[in-house]
Structure 1
Amino acid sequence: MKTDLFLVTPPFTQLNTPYPATAYIKGFLNTKNISSTQADLGIEVILALFSKKGLEDLFKHAETHNLQSLSPNAKRITALRQEYVKTIDNVIAFLQGKNPTLALQICQGDYLPEASRFNQLEELDWAFGTMGTQDKGKHLATLYLEDISDFIIECVDPNFGFSRYAERLGRSANSFDELYSALKHEYTYMDKLLIAILEQKLAIIQPKLFLISVPFPGNLYAAFRSAQYVKKHYPHIKTAMGGGFPNTELRSLSDKRVFEFFDFISLDDGELPVELIYNSIVSGLPFNLFKRTFLLENETVTYRNDSLRSDYKQSDVGTPDYSDLQLDQYISVIEIVNPMHRMWSDGRWNKLTMAHGCYWGKCTFCDISLDY
């Protein structure tokens, strides 16, 4: 379905729940009767990769690697490739909560192929007792996925990570050189998966504005790759970036090469900046007002904050809208048996804003320099 905006979270954030930024923006756009579609490209890439066809293609691609130089662990995984291909769809369905009875088979110890991650097994009876079959199964299935991840990092793409991709490039935000150089290279294996999914969606949605939320450094490379593809193949679509990463790392942006990929980069609260960016695209007027937005004017990076309108109050931004997101496809994993570490990766989160700052603003950890 065609919509005016396409809101995207690039790979990768969490496996178990969508990052809520696009849902918040979509909820706000609903109050303005602006049509939008959202997608979490991270979970879609993961599901394309960790599937029967995905692993078949992965192992076939890895055959180009010099087998003699592989670590013993990678050689073991290669030898067990048919077992991984045979079990992957069932394991993913189990972690999605769609096949709970598989826990019994997993816990028996002869269902999953095992590589180096299983060498680090803690005392599982201590962690899960004799009855915690579901949790124990999740933990073992997580180790199984991490074995495959180790194989990907060694043989296919060293930048891969379940909750981040090429994070190293995003952390060097003081210079765009390294990231810009990486974007000039051929597509990586993960890039090809990402672009294939993105192309399908763009062909259907045909937006006027492609809006990418970048919460963490581990999302930055994929955000630029996505915007690069849009600029090359859909030059009429405007691209914009917002989110936690630009809010903290790009406040003094000056490198105009960034605007080869993005037309707009907005800071802090996104509702009003996005509305004004959208209005500027729709109106077609030569001069428009913006709110906390970087753009390129006369070949110069310009920070525009000339709109006199105030940010929307929390009561006026609408309700987060999670439609379009594949909520039944997320996978719950247990990486560490300590229950205190499970909140990040196990189970669905429904994130809601309960407060937006306070009247006092004097706690030492509070960044009171932000203008909202």
Structure 2
Amino acid sequence: MDEVPASLANFFAQAERYLDTVDAAIRFLQGGDPSLAHRIAGRRFLPEGPRFAQLGVAPGGGNDRGGDRGDDDGDDGGGDDDDPLHWAFGALGVADRAKHLASLYIDDLADVVRDGIDPRFALSRYGERLAAAAQSFTPLCEALEGEPTLVDATLDQIAQELCERHRPELVGLTAPFPGNVYGALRLARAIKRRAPHTRIVLGGGYVNTELRELSEPRLFDYVDYVTLDDGERPLLALIEHLQRGEGPLLRTFVRQGGAVCLQTDASLHDVPLRDAGTPTYVGLPLAHYLSLLEMLNPMHRLWSDGRWNKLTVAHGCYWKKCTFCDVTLDYIARYDPGSAEKLVDRMTAMIEETGQTGFHFVDEAAPPSGLRALAERLLARKLAVTWWGNIRFEKAFTPELVELLAASGCVAISGGLEVASDRLLALINKGVTVAQVARVTRAFAEAGILVHAYLMYGFPTETVQETVDSLELVRQLFAEGCLHSAFWHRFAATVHSPVGQRPELFGIRLRPLPAVTFARNDVGFDDPTGVDHDWLGEGLRRALYNFMHGAGLDEDVRSWFGTRPRPGRWSGRRQQGRAVVPAPAVAPDVIRRALRGA
């Protein structure tokens, strides 16, 4: 008999307590019952499952090498020594402490759904593996037409209720990521069965990057149209086409005679950013969304805690030279800066609609000139807002500009450092150096602005030594207060990037792709360096988890890498059966000297 997963064993043992508390916990995370924080923070109200094991010790305590924590005996304790969360919340942070505990409670329930009901389920994605690099539509189709799970049945019911309430003639579904695709098609399937004459159009980031060569007719059993790139003009053209029974379409896939064809009229042009209009949240139950605090890091919480109105300072990327990026696609390649005055007008309208003054600018890289103009207009119009966004760590962000941004309401920024190696940054064509990134991030940090860095490993020709050196420089950036948060991404070659289009310039060989009828973007490659990046990635993530909690910053970075479990080409050395990465080749004070201008 298979062993029962820990999540399910815990749930079965405490099922009645979960039933008694789930509504209250949801209500609290929706912001509807703040006084409940005191009971939750006492750790006697909510049942605690496997997710709470991480509370056993503070990060870095004991011999922590991966975020694993000792068992928590559940003692509420009165002193600091008995309180594993005192380091994070102190004595008065009751609301945040309770939010963190309630978030772990929700994570436990999500694990129950995944382990006991539907293995495709996660809180922020559903059926992601079905759509990730899905060269064939068959796995998605089989899942859609297979025996429905409880999650499927719930989505079907929601779709049918919405269809009955609104009786739409046209439904638009956006799928920005692989984890949204199955859910979108599940909704489309339910709508088609409830109201077969309703037209459905699919778009979004996943479509724009993965489905540009779509030839799979079965997709159109669920949707009628698939549009590429910016959606405003294709959608307007489609609406006019449906109303008149004719008319040109723009970048729109349809099925005709059993085959997929792309219809696009060159006389139609995209709507410029200045005329794109103001986003609206009308119809969304904003008060019902949950604010989660899962990781005890002030920068990381911005992604899940609280609501942010979404806008862009500009369309596309003003740099658009990074060799790993899909720079040939419209959402990167077509740079269209907006008007700061109009942007502030839109912010004002969204505040009036939502009652929320928080904004997240979701640019690929917001231009420094655009952010300066925005900050000046916000201050001139005395509009009190809180905002954050994505940038390049470039020298245009002087301490003077950074202080201006902070004065206008900027509380955080994120940007791509990628690999902390000047050789690899040059190969990436990032246009920055490690020293420059250190100075820019320090300027933001000194202005009270949180800084998140996107990091990359496994770039073509990257050696073990360069990976270790990169981790060492990241450690120094955290230790010097330049970074507050970061995330390691494993490099992937795509057909729309310079690496994927000219692999010979990067010393790699692409693996041939089979015939593709559905998604085509990621492409496998062989790197002659033969480095085991999968294994290195485990150590990088362990180190970063601790750095983000202020732990392990004095450790030798080699200590984060454990035994390498499998044989293969390796440029490290073995010592008593243990694979050992080389010592950092960079000095331990590189970042400090860069900050001093040495």
The TM-score, its normalising length taken from structure 1, stands at 0.78
- How many residue pairs match? The answer is 304
One-letter amino acid of the structure 1 residue matched with residue 188 of structure 2 = A
| Partner of residue 128, structure 1 | 89
Larger-Rg structure? 2
* Structure 1 partner of 2:251: 292
Moved over 6 A (4+): none
User: Structure 2 matches for 1:214-363, cutoff 5 A?
Assistant: 214-285=175-246, 288-357=247-316, 361-363=320-322
Query: What stretches of structure 2 of length at least 5 have no aligned partner?
Result: 59-83, 335-598
Shift of 1:359: 5.7
The answer to whether residue 40 in structure 2 is matched with residue 111 in structure 1 is no
Spell out the pairing of 1:70-89 with structure 2 (5 A cutoff). 70-89=4-23
In angstroms, what is the RMSD of aligned CA positions? 1.7
The one-letter code of the counterpart of 2:130 is: L
Equivalent residue, structure 2, for 1:31? none
Q: Is the Cα contact below 8 Å between 1:228 and 1:261 reproduced in 2?
A: yes
The secondary structure found in structure 2 opposite 1:334 is coil
SS at match of 1:302: strand
Matches within 5 A, 1:19-34: none
Mapped to 2, the partners of 1:172 and 1:365 lie a distance apart of 17
Within 5 Å, give how 1:10-21 maps onto structure 2: none
C-alpha separation between the residues in 1 aligned to 2:181 and 2:166? Answer: 23
How far is the alpha carbon of 1:76 from its aligned partner? 2.4
- Whole-Å separation in 1 of the counterparts to 2:318 and 2:110: 46
Task: Quote the Cα distance in structure 1 between the aligned partners of 2:293 and 2:15.
Answer: 23
- Which structure has more relative contact order (CA 8 Å, sep 6+)? It is 1
Aligned 8 A contact 1:290 1:307 in 2? no
* Matched letter for residue 146 of structure 1: D
1:351 match: secondary structure = strand
Distance of 2:317 and 2:159 partners within structure 1: 39
1:92 corresponding residue in structure 2: 26
Secondary structure of 2:286's aligned partner: coil
Letter in 2 for 1:338: N
Unaligned runs of 5+ in 1: 1-65
Aligned to 1:146: 107
Partner Cα distance (1:308, 1:159) in 2: 43
Q: Any conservation in 2 of the 1:171–1:217 contact (CA below 8 Å)?
A: yes
CA deviation after TM superposition for structure 1 residue 365, in Å: 5.7
Q: By how many angstroms is 1:159 displaced? A: 1.1
Shift, 1:222, TM fit: 1.1
Distance in 2, matches of 1:205 and 1:73, equals: 39
| 1:42-100: CA deviation from partner (whole Å, max 9, x where unpaired) | xxxxxxxxxxxxxxxxxxxxxxxx9x852344222112111111111111111111111
CA contact (8 A) 2:159 2:191 kept: no
What's the % identity of the aligned pairs? 44
Structure 2 SS opposite 1:301? strand
CA offset at residue 362 of structure 1? 3.6
| Contact 2:117–2:150 under 8 Å retained in 1 | yes
The structure-2 alpha-carbon separation of the partners of 1:133 and 1:262, relative to structure 1 and needing over 3 Å to count, comes to same
> Deviations 1:197-230 (Å, cap 9, x if unpaired)?
1111111211111110111111111111111122
Say whether the 8 Å CA contact 1:289–1:307 is kept in structure 2: no
Counterpart for residue 101 of structure 1: 35
CA contact (8 A) 1:295 1:301 kept: yes
More strand by share: 2
Supply the distance in 2 between the matched residues of 1:348 and 1:360 (Cα, whole angstroms). Answer: 29
Secondary structure at the counterpart of residue 343 of structure 1: helix
